[in-house]
Structure 1
Amino acid sequence: MNIPNALTVFRMVLIPLYLYIFFSPFPYHVEIALLVLIVAGITDIVDGYIARKYKLVTTFGTMMDPLADKLMMMAVIASLFLTERISVWAALFFFARDLGMIVASAFFHFRGKKTVPANTFGKLTTVLFYIAFPLVMFRYPYGEIILWSAILFSFVTSAIYLVKFRLLNRVP
C-alpha cells in the first residue's frame, strides 16, 4: 500500500472518530470534531498531491479517495441534521446527490466505463462545504444559507461531471 492509499484509509478511520467526538459529552466536542474534519481535509489534499506528483495513482485510490470524501461529508451532514443544525431538506438534497454520485460511480466503474477525474468544479464544491460546515456547526447566522449554496453548486458540478462522462465514454 502506497502513502496516498494509506492516507485514504486513514481518512476512512477518521469518519467514526469524528462521529464519536461530535456526539460525545466532552467539553469542546464540536471544536475537536471540527479539528478531525480539518485533518481529513488536509489528508485529502496531501494524498492527491503525492499521488499525482509521484505517479502513485492506483485503481484503489481512484475509487476509495472520493468515497472517503463523500462518506466523511455524509457523516458531517448527518451529525448536523441529528443535532438540528440543518433542515431535513438540506440533509435530503445533500444525501440524494452524494448517494447518487456514489451509486453511479460504482455502477459505471464495474461496467468498465472510464471515470471523470476530479476537476476544478469538484474541488471548489469541496471547499464550499468545508467553509459551510464550521459555520453551521457553530450556528453562525446564515450558515445554512451558505450550506445551501454549496449544495446547489454541487448539483451544478454533478451536471458538469455527467456531460464530461458522456463525452469521455462516447463510442466513435
Structure 2
Amino acid sequence: MQYTIPNILTSFRIILVPVFVVCFYLPFEWAHQAAAWVFMIAAITDWFDGYLARKLDQTSAFGAFLDPVADKVMVAVALILLVDQNPTDYPPIFMTMAAVIIIGREITISALREWMAEVGSRNSVAVSIIGKIKTTAQMTALIWLIYEEPMFGIPLADVGFVLLYISVFLTLWSMVDYISAALPTLKER
C-alpha cells in the first residue's frame, strides 16, 4: 500500500463505518445527528480523495481498488440502518425497495466492471457524469435521512426520501448506461 493522502483518506472512510454504526445506535436523542455528521465527513473524504489523487498525481492501483469499496460499504451500511429504522412516515417497503435497487445495482456494476477489466475493456464502463450526479444525490439523501430531524422548519427526512428516489432513478439510468456501453463486448464473448 502506498501511504498517499488520497489512500489515507479512503482508509479513514472505511474506519468511519463502525463509528457511524455505533453513533447511529447510541441511546441518546442526538445519536442520528451524530451519525449523519460522521456519514457527511465520510462523503466529503470521498470527494477529496479522488480530487487529490488527480491533483497531486497520486493515483494508484490500491486507491482505484479501495475507493469504490469504501463508497459501497458506507452506502450499503447506511441503507441497511435506514431500513432497520425507517425515519419517514412512508411504509417501510419504500425504504427497503430503494435499498434493494441501490445495493443490487452496485453489485451488478461492480461485477460488470470486474469482468470488463478481465477482458481488457474496463474503459468502456468508466464512471459517467450520471454516475457522479447519482452519487451526489444519494449521499445527500442519506445524510438527510440519517439526520432525520427537521432543520429550519424543513422536514429533512421527507426531502431526503424524495432525493433518495431521485437517486434510485439515476441509479437505474446509470446502470442501463453502463450495461449499454458493455453490451458490444458482452455480445461478442
TM-score with structure 1 setting the length: 0.85
Q: Quote how far apart the aligned CAs of 1:78 are.
A: 0.5
State yes or no: 1:155 paired with 2:172: yes
In structure 2, relative to structure 1, the CA distance for the partners of 1:142 and 1:37 (3 Å cut) is closer
- The AA in structure 1 aligned to 2:26 is S
In structure 2, relative to structure 1, the CA distance for the partners of 1:103 and 1:27 (3 Å cut) is same
State yes or no: 1:98 paired with 2:109: no
Q: Quote how far apart the aligned CAs of 1:23 are.
A: 1.4
- The AA in structure 2 aligned to 1:120 is I
- The AA in structure 2 aligned to 1:97 is R
Corresponding residue of 1:37: 39
CA contact (8 A) 2:140 2:160 kept: no
Matches within 5 A, 1:3-152: 3-85=5-87, 86=92, 87-115=95-123, 116-137=125-146, 138=148, 140-152=157-169
Say which SS state the counterpart of residue 56 (structure 1) adopts: coil
In structure 2, relative to structure 1, the CA distance for the partners of 1:102 and 1:26 (3 Å cut) is farther
Q: Quote how far apart the aligned CAs of 1:112 are.
A: 4.6
Worse overlay, 22-31 or 84-93: 84-93
Q: Quote how far apart the aligned CAs of 1:131 are.
A: 2.2
Q: Quote how far apart the aligned CAs of 1:83 are.
A: 0.6
Distance 2:105 2:63 in 1: 22
Q: CA RMSD in A?
A: 2.5
Q: Quote how far apart the aligned CAs of 1:167 are.
A: 6.9
Percent of aligned positions that are identical:
26
Worse overlay, 148-157 or 110-119: 110-119
CA contact (8 A) 2:113 2:122 kept: no
Q: Quote how far apart the aligned CAs of 1:144 are.
A: 2.2
Q: Quote how far apart the aligned CAs of 1:11 are.
A: 0.9
Q: Which consecutive unaligned segments of at least 5 residues does structure 2 have?
A: 149-155
Larger gyration radius, structure 1 or structure 2: 2
Q: Quote how far apart the aligned CAs of 1:12 are.
A: 1.0
Distance 2:162 2:47 in 1: 26
> 1:99-157 deviations in whole A, cap 9, x for unaligned?
22233333444455424433322111111012212332316335323211111111111
Q: Quote how far apart the aligned CAs of 1:163 are.
A: 3.2
The total of aligned residue pairs comes to 171
Distance 1:84 1:140 in 2: 9
